[in-house]
Amino acid sequence: MMARRLERLMARHGQSICLTRRDGGQTAVVKAFLQPTLAKREAPPVTATPLGAASSQRWLYIGNGRQEIAPGDRAEWNGLRLAVQEARPVCWADETVYYWAILRREREAAG
């Protein structure tokens, strides 16, 4: 039930993100939330936002519980190419409610 509510919010307010799996290259377009991470202390590049300093290198991904995402996968949104650094399912009881991940700009992740 919680997962369905979150999926409805993503469908209405989320960004369309193209995910490419590392293990086989399968591509899927999903609705998810993608935002730059907020950082109190970080070396440049940092951009000031109304909520604080935002890193242009690290991004937070919240995606539906039916579309797995794992380290090494790729994401593309609005011309921005990102690589998944960390990812994990977030569960309630036996249900995967959503996937949480930290992504980095692709050129930085390769290094």
Q: What's the confidence (pLDDT) of residue 87? A: 97
Instruction: Provide the whole-model pTM.
Output: 0.79
In degrees, to the nearest 5, what angle opens at C-alpha 54 toward C-alphas 9 and 86?
Answer: 65
User: What is the mean pLDDT of each successive set of 10 residues along the chain, which is 111 residues long?
Assistant: 87 95 91 85 56 68 94 95 96 92 76 48
Q: What's the confidence (pLDDT) of residue 4? A: 87
**Dihedral (CA of 60, 66, 72, 73) sign:** negative
Q: What's the confidence (pLDDT) of residue 24? A: 83
Do 15 and 29 touch, CB atoms closer than 8 A?
no
* Secondary-structure breakdown of the chain: helix, strand, coil percentages, each rounded to the nearest 5: 15, 55, 30
Q: What's the confidence (pLDDT) of residue 90? A: 95
DSSP state of 72: T
